[in-house]
């Protein structure tokens, strides 16, 4: 057990009130074979409790899987360990990954380090909170519609969702076979690119693109509408700073059919969930059925979704699914490709979420936004889900705090399989902002 591991374990226990972890690897299970000379030697990593780590319970935050302990590391964890990484433990999440608050009714809500009365975001909330609170320098989450980028934004860290199939998702609790990805979360881009290199088994992206050669597309109508006033203020100040540094901001709208086509794509997730999850259970937990998951769900919002899918009353037919997969998704990708080509941009730029983190209490179904009650889930994934639907790589970078001290994230989306290009742009943009001040909970509970 390295000194770094011991320090991180101590911090995790001191900050247990954040509820960031489900299981801590106190016995240092399956770390004995880590390479001391690897590229990640001495790096302590937290992973979402949907990512198999041999010997550590993989609950996916739900009662029916509470006793499932993988006997083998998933491929991504194997790659991390082969380079010397030590797994501190598995992090709390929105139950089964089906939500954006991480208000888990079985293990309790993940608390945002910048305001413990607010949620951390989800579904990878524990991973984001663990990095934000400086418990670990890096963590791994999962992203289907925003579950890495969204909590990263709300907790003030960097979160990267790669293009589909850049990393293996084998040995992870799934949601959607055609949309699920894993993604690294960290305080610095140098750790994001290092983890990306290890997880993708590709050369590391180290060079930033010169600021004067970067062109960012700004689609105000599609991605900047109905912003929280403080989010808008912080984002506009960031755009001004980026522009003054030499980056070209191209104000241009996405095709007016963009939202309509995207809205038809969410049926993919609902249609794929049952067969995808059933296949996973058959392979890893043959004594648990989909009906068991649905019947034992602890979180009311997740229960409603899984019961709807179980009873086949989600309203998504085979014909709707086929059309979403073969017509609407390709059309959405084409909208993006045409936009990038027509305006010669390296990435789209927009606020990761339209509002900062909300209070945990009363947020299951609705939150208050601009003086009105709005549905929690669609409001928070409004900007993150379209790129996920199209399989784009996206990265959220912290750019500042609201007047209440809450983080705001700026997202950059690139074209599918242009991850290296996006990362080189992100390196350049990150250098303009650096890390946010540590959250108050770090200083108060560790002093």
- 48 as an active site residue: the answer is yes
Predicted pLDDT at 365: 96
CB atoms within 10 A of CB 32: 8
In this prediction, residue 313 has a pLDDT band, given cuts at 50, 70 and 90, of confident
Confidence band for 36, pLDDT divided at 50, 70 and 90: low
Angle of helix 189-200 versus helix 75-82 axis, rounded to 10: 110
Residue-level pLDDT at 204: 98
The single residue of 127, 147, 197, 299 carrying the catalytic annotation is 147
Query: Taking the CB of residue 367, how many other CB atoms lie within 10 A of it?
Result: 21
- Between CA 40 and CA 204 the distance in angstroms is 13
Token pair belonging to 387: 């790129």
Share of the chain above pLDDT 90, in %: 90
Segment (H or E) for 442: helix 440-446
pLDDT tens per residue across span 417-433: 999 999 999 999 999 99
Place of tokens 């784009």: 392
Q: Is pLDDT of 273 > 90? A: yes
Cβ–Cβ contacts within 10 Å for residue 183, how many? 30
Query: Between 444 and 16, where is the model more confident?
Result: 16
The domain spans of the chain are 3-255+333-446
Helix (H, G, I), strand (E, B) or coil at 368: strand
Confidence check: pLDDT of 251 > 60 = yes
Distances from the Cα of 65 to the Cα of 51, 269, 297, 345, angstroms: 13, 21, 10, 45
Residue 407, pLDDT score: 98
Q: Which of 348, 329, 318 is nearest to 262 (CA)?
A: 329
Residue 440 or 264, more confident: 440
Where does the pLDDT of residue 37 fall: very low under 50, low under 70, confident under 90, or very high at 90 and above?
confident
Q: What's the pLDDT tens digit per position in 181-197?
A: 999 999 999 999 999 99
State the catalytic residue, choosing from 30, 102, 105, 123. Answer: 123
pLDDT higher than 70, residue 72: yes
Report the range of poorest mean pLDDT among 272-281, 291-300, 313-322, 382-391. 313-322
Mind listing the pLDDT tens digit for each residue in 106-124? Answer: 999 999 999 999 999 999 9
Closest CA to 46 of 166, 120, 141, 144: 141
* Count of C-beta atoms within a 10 Å radius of residue 111: 27
Average pLDDT rounded to a whole number, residues 150-168: 98
**pLDDT tens column, 199-237:** 999 999 999 999 999 999 999 999 999 999 999 999 999
Alpha carbon distances (Å) from 112 to 53, 99, 142, 359, 375: 25, 16, 18, 10, 20
Nearest Cα to 155, choosing from 183, 182, 124? Answer: 124
Per CATH, the homologous superfamily of domain 3-255+333-446 is Amidase signature (AS) domain (3.90.1300.10)
Exactly one of 30, 48, 314, 363 is catalytic; name it.
48
Q: What is the pLDDT of residue 307?
A: 94
pTM of the model: 0.97
For residue 419, how far is the Cα from the chain centroid? 16
331-352 mean pLDDT: 97
For residue 219, give the DSSP letter: -
Give the span between the Cα atoms of 135 and 131, in whole angstroms. Answer: 6
Ordered alpha helix ranges (H), 64-123? 75-82
pLDDT band at 255 (very low <50, low <70, confident <90, very high): confident
């Amino acid at each position: 057990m390295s000194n770094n591991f011991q320090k991180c374990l101590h911090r995790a226990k001191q900050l247990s009130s954040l509820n960031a972890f489900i299981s801590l690897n106190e016995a240092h299970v399956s770390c004995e074979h880590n390479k001391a000379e690897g590229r990640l030697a001495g790096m302590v990593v937290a992973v979402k409790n949907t990512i198999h780590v041999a010997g550590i319970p993989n609950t996916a935050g739900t009662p029916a899987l509470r006793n499932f302990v993988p006997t083998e590391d998933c491929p991504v964890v194997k790659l991390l360990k082969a380079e010397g990484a030590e797994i501190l433990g598995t992090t709390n999440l929105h139950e089964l990954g089906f939500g954006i608050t991480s208000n888990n009714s079985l293990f309790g809500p993940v608390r945002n380090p910048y305001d413990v009365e607010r949620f951390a975001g989800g579904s990878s909330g524990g991973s984001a909170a663990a990095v934000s609170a400086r418990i670990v320098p890096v963590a791994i989450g999962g992203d289907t519609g925003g579950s890495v980028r969204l909590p990263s934004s709300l907790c003030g860290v960097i979160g990267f969702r790669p293009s589909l199939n850049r990393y293996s998702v084998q040995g992870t609790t799934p949601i959607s076979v055609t949309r699920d990805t894993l993604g690294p979360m960290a305080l610095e881009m140098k750790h994001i690119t290092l983890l990306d290199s290890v997880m993708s088994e590709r050369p590391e992206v180290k060079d930033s693109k010169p600021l004067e050669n970067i062109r960012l597309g700004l689609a105000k109508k599609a991605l900047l509408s109905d912003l929280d006033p403080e989010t808008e203020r912080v984002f506009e100040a960031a755009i001004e700073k980026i522009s003054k540094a030499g980056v070209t901001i191209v104000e241009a709208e996405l095709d007016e059919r963009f939202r309509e086509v995207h809205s038809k794509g969410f049926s993919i997730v609902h249609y794929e969930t049952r067969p995808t999850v059933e296949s996973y259970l058959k392979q890893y937990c043959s004594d648990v059925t989909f009906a068991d998951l649905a019947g034992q769900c602890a979180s009311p919002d997740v229960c409603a979704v899984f019961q709807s899918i179980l009873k086949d009353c989600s309203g998504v037919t085979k014909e709707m699914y086929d059309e979403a997969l073969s017509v609407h998704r390709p059309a959405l990708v084409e909208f993006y490709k045409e936009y990038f080509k027509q305006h010669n941009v390296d990435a789209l730029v927009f606020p990761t979420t339209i509002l900062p983190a909300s209070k945990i209490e009363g947020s299951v179904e609705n939150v208050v936004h601009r003086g009105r009650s709005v549905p929690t889930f669609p409001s928070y994934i409004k900007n993150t889900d379209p790129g996920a639907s199209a399989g784009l790589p996206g990265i959220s970078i912290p750019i500042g705090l609201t007047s209440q001290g809450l983080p705001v994230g700026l997202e950059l989306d690139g074209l599918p399989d242009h991850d290296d290009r996006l990362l080189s742009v992100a390196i350049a943009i990150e250098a303009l902002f650096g890390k946010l001040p540590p959250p108050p909970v770090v200083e108060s509970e560790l002093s």
